[in-house]
Amino acid sequence: AVLASTTLVLAASYSLWLGKRVLFGDTKGDKVATMSTLKMDELWALLILAFFVLLIGIKPDIILNISEESSLNMIKIIGSKY
């Protein structure tokens, strides 16, 4: 439990540090400064992915209904042993 807690704290602090660098840091390399904007096929892929992420966030039972029967079966199997 101590190792898991330590790992969780380190991962959270690294995520915050990385987010700060990405959102507020200056571009120091020439490659980053000369990057072009998204191409149309990249934009469509990003929009489709964002749509599905939002859809599952708003209506998660789309995925949960698929696994409900097997989950109930697993609960019944585990519950009968105890």
pLDDT classification of 51: cutoffs 50, 70, 90: very high
Q: What is the Cα–Cα distance from 77 to 22, expressed in whole angstroms?
A: 47
> For residue 73, which amino acid is it?
N
Q: What letter does residue 29 receive in the DSSP assignment?
A: S
Task: Please write the tens of the pLDDT for every residue from 3-47.
Answer: 999 999 999 999 999 998 888 877 677 777 788 888 999 999 999
| Relative orientation angle of helices 61-81 and 40-58, to the nearest 10 degrees | 50
Residue 11: predicted pLDDT: 96
Q: What letter does residue 34 receive in the DSSP assignment?
A: T
